[in-house]
Structure formats: structure tokens, C-alpha cells
Amino acid sequence: MAQPWQTGKVIRIENATPFTRRFWIEFDSGIPFDFKPGQFVTLDLPIHEKPSKRWRSYSIASWPDGSPVIELVIVLLEGGAGTTYLFEEIKVGSELILRGPQEELERNLPGFHYLPVFSRQLAENAEQLFRKGYVHGIYEEICKQKIVCDAPDVQVPLHPAQFYLCGWKVMIDEARKRIVDLGYDRKAIHLELYG
């Protein structure tokens, strides 16, 4: 079920680097914000008349600890309307309209599997639930498991797959090359670039 739009208040802002900022947002309801690591929120920013051009999605950086506060780590994208607004207009005390994760795909879509992968250190005991490393090696491992064959002369068909990529251009470019090198058609790759 889609989560409703709600209001959150920015309670803390911290500069991590000159172009990276951490935002802590508390939900007005005070109810614990329910999410899983790797999920994101969508902000409705006043940067355009059309909703589809106002919405910006950002990964949740905090651990799901049952509190009504989440942390977003946002990198300023040169010329980006969303990040420019957040960096120039949002202060402690500002209110944001946002909604939580919409991803119930694994439960409702046969054949879909959600596997969170983290490139940096995980919280204690988290490695039992998630994979650690760069995502490229993980999807290559999964795809290669599907096409293993003992007879080297036998052409094994690829396991049908669609790839949905979202991230920075360098990461996306590498992912596209690796997926094509595995033997998949470029038409199986769907993407959204951060910049």
C-alpha cells in the first residue's frame, strides 16, 4: 500500500563536505518511521508546477531504529533544481512534504527479489541480513549462477532479467558495460541518472 504524503521538519543540518550535506527530518506525527535499509523517501519540492518535476527521491542514510527521525545525505548536483533548493532554501525548522518507501514489490511481484548491498561498513550483526561490497560483483555473481554449465561447448541461454539502475553516471556506465558483457541486451537496462 502506498504511503501517504506527510510533513517533516528539518531538525538538524550538518555539512559533511563542501558539496555534501546531512539533513535530519522529524515527522510531525511522532510515529516511528517504518523503512528497511536501502529504501528512499520522495520529497515534493516547490521547484515546478508539475508534480512529476517536483518530486525528488533520496536514499535514507539512517538505520531503522524505530524513531520518527530519518537522516538524508545529499550531494549538491551542479545545476540540479532539487539539490540547489535544498542547499539554498532549507534551514533548521523548515518543513518538507515527503512520503516514505513504496516498495512492496517482492511481496506482490512474482520473480522480484530485493537484496540490499552496502559498499561501506555495516552495523553490528547486519551482515547476516545484507550483502557487503560493490553492487557490480553481486549482480554478476547472481547472473552467472543462473548460466553455469559443465559442458563448455553448450550455449546456455541467459536467465531472463531486467535491470533497473539508478545512481551516478560513472557507476551506471560501468553497470551497463558489465551487464552487456554478461550477454544481456541493452534493452533490458532501464536507468535514471543522478547527474
- Distance, in Å, from the CA atom of 116 to the CA atom of 128, rounded to the nearest integer, reads 11
Residue given cell 552495523 in the structure block: 123
CB atoms within 10 A of CB 6: 16
Whether residues 85 and 161 fall in one domain = no
CA distance to 28, 59, 71, 122, per residue, from 37 (Å): 22, 9, 12, 10
Q: What is the pLDDT of residue 180?
A: 92
Distances (CA, A) of 140 to 43, 108, 130, 133, 135: 32, 25, 17, 12, 9
Phi and psi dihedrals of 163, rounded to 5?
Answer: -115, 125
Asked, for residue 171, whether it belongs to a domain, the answer is: yes
- The per-residue pLDDT for range 56-66, each reduced to its tens digit, is 888 899 988 88
Same domain? For 78 and 126 the reply is no
Indicate whether 184 belongs to any domain.
yes
10 and 50 inside one domain: yes
Residues 18 and 95 in one domain: yes
For residue 61, which of 12, 86, 24, 99 has the smallest C-alpha distance? 24
The pLDDT confidence band at residue 158, using thresholds 50, 70 and 90, is confident
Contact 113, 58 (CB under 8 A): no
* Same domain (yes/no): 14, 86: yes
- Give the pLDDT score at 11: 97
**Which stretches within the chain are classed as H helix?**
51-54, 81-89, 105-108, 135-146, 169-181
> Do 14 and 99 lie in a common domain?
yes
Q: For residue 110, is it within any domain?
A: no
Domain count, the chain: 2
Whether pLDDT at 191 is above 90: no
The answer to the question of residue 121 being in a domain is yes
Same domain for 125 and 73, yes or no, is no
Give the Cα separation of 175 and 8 in Å (integer): 35
Quickly count: other Cβ atoms within 10 Å of residue 60's Cβ: 21
In a domain, 146, yes or no: yes
| pLDDT of 153 higher than 70 | no
Given 103, 135, 155, which residue is the final one in a domain? 103
SS3 144: helix
- The per-residue pLDDT for 129 is 56
Co-location of 52 and 95 in the same domain: yes
Residue 108 lies in a domain: no
> Span 9-36, mean pLDDT?
90
In a domain, 138, yes or no: yes
Domain containing 55 equals: 6-103
Does some domain include residue 1? no
CATH number at residue 19: 2.40.30.10
Using CA atoms, how far apart are residues 99 and 8, in angstroms rounded to an integer?
9
In this prediction the pTM is 0.62
